[in-house]
Amino acid sequence: MTAAVELTGITKRFGDVVAVDAVDLVIDDGQFFAMLGPSGCGKTTTLRMIAGLDFPTEGSLKIFGDEVGTLPPNKRPVNTVFQSYALFPHMNVLDNVAFGLRMQGVNKGDARAKAAQAIDLVRLAGMETRKPSQMSGGQQQRVALARALVNEPKVLLLDEPLGALDLKLRQEMQGELKRLQQELGVSFVFVTHDQEEALTMSDRIAVMDQGRILQVGSPEEIYEHPANRFVADFIGQTNLLEGTVEDSSTVCLANGARVQASSDRPVGTAVAVSLRPERAHIAATEAVEDRPSVEGVVDRVTYLGNARVYTVRLDWMEVEVREENRPGAALHEPGAPVSIWWDPGAVWVVGDE
Amino acid sequence: MTAIDIPEADRVTLEFEALAQRQARRRGFLLALPAWIYLIVFFAVPFGIVVVYSFATRTSRGGVALSDWNLASYERLGEELVRNVLIRSLGLALLTTVICLVVAYPFAYFMTTLSARVRNLMLVFVMIPFWTNFLVRNYAWRLILAEDGPWNTTAEAFGIDTVIDWIIDLPGWIAPDFLVGWLVDVPEPLFTKLAVILGLVYSFLPFMILPLYASIERIDGALLEASRDLYANARQSFVRVLLPLSMPGVVAGSILVFVPSLGAYVTPDILGGGKEVLLGSYIVTQFGTARNFPFGASLSVVLMVVMLTATIGYFRSGGRNL
Ligand SMILES: Nc1ncnc2c1ncn2[C@@H]1O[C@H](COP(=O)(O)OP(=O)(O)O)[C@@H](O)[C@H]1O
Ligand SMILES: [Mg+2]
């Protein structure tokens, strides 16, 4: 099967700034694909190169097997939902949505009929004659979506489309986008800096930093087995316990404690043991036996309603532990000496690379 | 707080607000007063006098009799000679406007693509001509366009005569008469229509560039990208998105160029040598050598009405770009 989008050695430089650095990436057809990374890591630039709004400095870019390196955007079978929506302010909703079809030479009547269907698809029926300025942010977002989808692109590109919406609307639109993607079966390439959004919506995620792709995988792979320190830290919350590899199943922590953690890195490599707060448990010092653990003192407790987060001060760092709020669960006051323990399989060793 | 207090408090608040409003209005009136006085003394009153004169009668000794009110001066507007002056002036002003628009649009668009520093530098360049007196600049053009001046010698060095002869010999459907009429003046434009157009375009181009730049600069670049993403080619993107969104600038610039071109007096006189009688110089003649104040006044009224109509039309269409 040919990939929907295939980037090979793609680099984009703006003067001295390397925005995208030798990226290799394959996006399969029909996937909900997220590009995730902190602001300024090159997500938008990558998306713009796929759309044809920027051209790569180096590398090969294929869409369904066709090299599109320097094709202008109007010659590519992809459409974009812009971060700012970029709706044409001088046209009403119907003409905005019909624009792409009209430009492709579809006659006015047919274009408008199809546009009306697309408007229906995003649940805006009845708003055809409104101007974009007369609509809320969420509605404008839907118009932008309809305007792109009506062209039946082979790949839909979305640049932080939900960034400007408030939380409730954002969650609603997340569901909506997922529904549309599954109904239409086309690839969505979705740019976001929100790791939770990426985890809940995507089939696959590419994690980017400083113009490079650090890891590509399913949400589970990325969360459970982060490729390196940056990914482990960026996706969800985690505690990184610094140490060195002692043998294939043991890491020696900074305080000299040995913990069971398997890795295939050479002996003596500086690594960190990633311990997610919800995988760690807290207990009075005497209660722990036979399990990997570290000892410390409770510094503060944050009450979240459904859970408590204990911040525990070790000799050399702070560790967060999340305990679900169950009836009968033991409580620990600030200042109490405690042990933090976990199941041997709960940790994951990450390095710099 | 008791139930009786509330309306009492409300009443006091309302009174206070009304007072504040009255004060704000009075302050606004006072601030605007100098401008009002200026407009009344230097615009409304003189214009009123002109309108009154336009209905008066010329005495046999070239004076004005403020009696015998009549429409004779307006009836003269229908005479063929006068009509030709009006039509020629309108045509020239229109042509100047169109040329300015065609030259200024790409320039203004290009400016918006530059970095802020270069862009400001360009804006300064656009405005530099204003540092020199208008008359001086027109006389400078006279030197440039004169026989054996820089224009003339450059054009001849490039063998422009041969090119023009060649074009004139082309069949009429490629080189129509009106085009040939302009072309023959190219080697020595001074004291021809061509020089007048050149001078007017040169003088008023900044008035086209600035509002165009202001309105294009305001357009979100993502809209143009969106149009290209939605299968518009460069031309469609211009016609469907850039041009409609920059229309306020187009209209504002056109009015700012058309209105002074229509009444232009200095440039046609200095560069056209007064050979082609245009509205501006025709009005001057009426107040000067012809000593026909009522007719001069009626021509001025016509000019004012055209200008006011254009300006009001612009503001009615919702433009706020001047
Ligand atoms: N047109 C441009 N000119 C110069 N630098 C740019 C341009 N576009 C992006 N950059 C730089 O490239 C890097 C990546 O930007 P971008 O792709 O927008 O990041 P993201 O979308 O992940 O926040 C940033 O350092 C940014 O400053
Ligand atoms: Mg971005």
What is the pTM (predicted TM-score) of this model?
A: 0.85
Q: What is the pLDDT of residues A160-205, one digit of tens each?
A: 999 888 888 899 999 999 999 999 999 999 999 999 999 999 999 9
A73 CB neighbours in chain B (<8 A) are 225, 228-229
Asked whether A43 lines ligand 1 (CB < 6 A), one says: yes
Q: Could you tell me the domains of chain A?
A: 5-224 (3.40.50.300), 237-350 (2.40.50.140)
CA of A196 vs chain B CAs: smallest distance (Å): 28
What mean pLDDT comes out for the span B297-311? 90
Asked whether A193 lines ligand 1 (CB < 6 A), one says: no
Radius of gyration of chain A from its Cα atoms, rounded to whole angstroms: 25
> Is B317's pLDDT higher than 80?
no
Q: Give the span between the Cα atoms of A53 and B222, in whole angstroms.
A: 10
B240 CB neighbours in chain A (<8 A) are 99, 103
Q: Which of B225, B231, B244 sits opposite A103 (nearest CB)?
A: B231
Q: How far is CA B196 from CA B199, B207, B300, in A?
A: 5, 17, 21
Interface of B with A in 245-284 (CB under 8 A): 245
Q: Which long-range contacts (CB under 8 A, 24 or more apart) does B266-269 make?
A: B266/B134, B266/B135, B266/B138, B267/B138, B267/B196, B267/B199, B267/B200, B267/B203, B268/B196
Residue B1: what pLDDT?
43
What mean pLDDT comes out for the span B211-228? 96
pLDDT over 70, % of chain A: 99
> Is B322's pLDDT higher than 60?
no
Q: Is B243 on the interface with A (CB under 8 A)?
A: no
In angstroms, what is the span from residue A91 Cα to ligand 2's centroid? Answer: 26
Predicted confidence band of residue B321 (pLDDT cuts 50, 70, 90): very low
Which of A49, A74, A84, A102 has the most B C-beta neighbours within 10 Å, making it the best mutation to test the interface with B? A74
CB spacing of A88 vs B227 below 8 angstroms? yes
Mean pLDDT of chain A: 93
Q: Which of B231, B240, B244 sits opposite A104 (nearest CB)?
A: B231
Q: What is the pLDDT of residues A183-195, one digit of tens each?
A: 999 999 999 999 9
Which one has a higher pLDDT value, B26 or B172? Answer: B26
Q: Give the span between the Cα atoms of A175 and A138, in whole angstroms.
A: 13
> Is B158's pLDDT higher than 50?
yes
Asked whether A40 lines ligand 1 (CB < 6 A), one says: yes
Q: Look-up: residue for tokens 């532990």?
A: A321
Ligand nearest to the CA of A163: 2
Eight-class DSSP state of B240: I
Domain residue spans of chain B: 8-53, 80-145+189-321
**Cβ–Cβ under 8 Å, residues A82 and B226:** yes
Q: What is the pLDDT of residues A212-268, one digit of tens each?
A: 999 999 999 999 999 999 999 999 999 999 999 998 889 998 888 888 888 888 998
User: What ipTM was predicted for this assembly?
Assistant: 0.88
Asked whether A44 lines ligand 1 (CB < 6 A), one says: yes
Q: Look-up: residue for tokens 């793609």?
A: A10
Closest B-chain CA to A144? B226
Q: Which two tokens stand for residue A142?
A: 């839907």
Q: Is B230 on the interface with A (CB under 8 A)?
A: yes
CB spacing of A86 vs B222 below 8 angstroms? yes
CB spacing of A151 vs B227 below 8 angstroms? no
Asked whether A17 lines ligand 1 (CB < 6 A), one says: yes
Fold classified for B80-145+189-321: MetI-like fold (1.10.3720)
Q: What is the pLDDT of residues A279-320, one digit of tens each?
A: 999 988 766 677 788 889 999 999 999 999 999 999 889 999
What mean pLDDT comes out for the span A62-89? 95
